[in-house]
Chains A and B, each alone.
Chain A
Amino acid sequence: MTIQFNDESFRDDYTFHNSDWAIKRFPFPFHEDSYMYSVNMEQHRGGPEGSVYEMRFDVDEHYVSEMKDRAMVLDQDPLRCQSLPHMTLAGWDLLELIMVSKSEDYPELFELHRNGNQWRWINKPLGIDHSFTFMDETTLPYGPMEYITRQAQGDFAVLDQRDEMLWMDAGMVTTQADWSLDFDIGMNFFEWHAPVPKAHEMGIFQRALKFLLNIQQGAPARRLNWTMTVNPLLDTSPENYHKWGIQKTTLTPENIAHKQHLRVELQTFFRLPRSNALVFPIRCYLCSFQDLMTVPKWGRRLHRVIRDLPEELATYKGFIDNRPMMLDYLSQFDDGLPTSPGIWPDLETEPPLSK
Chain B
Amino acid sequence: MSKFEFPKSIASRPVWGTLEVRPGEHHLMIAEAEGAEAILDIATPDLMAKTHLIYIPKGTDYVERLQALKPAQFYEGPSYEASLQRIRRVLEDAHMGLQVYLTGSESMMGQAMNEVMAVGLPHTAIQTEHRGSVARRMQCVHCKGITEDVEVDPFVCAHCGLNLFVRDHYSRRLAAYQGVRVDAEDHGNVPEPKGIYE
The interface stretch among A27-35, A143-151, A183-191, A270-278 is: A183-191
Give chain B residues whose Cβ lies under 8 Å from the Cβ of A329: none
By a beta-carbon cutoff of 8 Å, the part of chain B in contact with chain A is 10-13, 139, 141-142, 144, 162, 167-174, 178, 180-181, 184-187
A 60-92 binary contact with B (CB < 8 Å = 1; else 0): 000000000000000000010000000000000
Given A180-B141, A194-B12, A245-B184: 6 more A-B contacts, CB < 8 Å: A186-B172, A191-B170, A195-B10, A195-B12, A241-B184, A246-B185
Q: A184 and B184: CB pair below 8 A?
A: no
How far is A238 from B144 in the complex, measured between Cα atoms in Å? 11
How far is A94 from B93 in the complex, measured between Cα atoms in Å? 39
Residues of A47-66 at the interface with B, using a CB-CB cut-off of 8 Å, are: none
Residue pairs across A and B with Cβ atoms less than 8 A apart, 20 shown, are A183-B139, A183-B169, A183-B171, A183-B174, A186-B172, A187-B12, A190-B12, A191-B11, A191-B12, A194-B13, A195-B10, A200-B10, A238-B142, A238-B178, A240-B142, A241-B141, A242-B162, A245-B181, A245-B185, A249-B186
Q: Is the interface of B mostly helix, strand, loop or mixed?
A: loop
Smallest distance from the beta carbon of B111 to chain A beta carbons, Å? 15
Assuming the contacts A183-B171, A183-B178, asked whether A246 and B12 have C-beta atoms less than 8 A apart, the reply is no
A182 within 8 A of partner (CB): yes
In the complex, the 8 A-B pairs of residues with the closest C-beta atoms, listed nearest first: A245-B184, A194-B12, A194-B10, A242-B181, A191-B12, A194-B11, A186-B173, A190-B11
A 170-210 binary contact with B (CB < 8 Å = 1; else 0): 00000000001011111100111111000010000000000
- Choose among A183, A190, A192 the residue that contacts B141 (Cβ–Cβ < 8 A): A183
A186 to B, closest residue via Cβ: B173
Assuming the contacts A238-B180, A241-B141, A241-B180, asked whether A184 and B171 have C-beta atoms less than 8 A apart, the reply is yes
Residues of A225-249 at the interface with B, using a CB-CB cut-off of 8 Å, are: 238-242, 245-246, 248-249
- Choose among A240, A241, A246 the residue that contacts B187 (Cβ–Cβ < 8 A): A246
- Choose among A187, A190, A193 the residue that contacts B171 (Cβ–Cβ < 8 A): A187
Smallest distance from the beta carbon of B168 to chain A beta carbons, Å? 8
Give chain B residues whose Cβ lies under 8 Å from the Cβ of A238: 141-142, 178, 180
How far is A184 from B141 in the complex, measured between Cα atoms in Å? 11
Assuming the contacts A185-B173, A245-B181, A245-B185, asked whether A239 and B11 have C-beta atoms less than 8 A apart, the reply is no
Q: B184 and A246: CB pair below 8 A?
A: yes
Smallest distance from the beta carbon of A46 to chain B beta carbons, Å? 35
Give chain B residues whose Cβ lies under 8 Å from the Cβ of A183: 139, 141, 169, 171, 174, 178
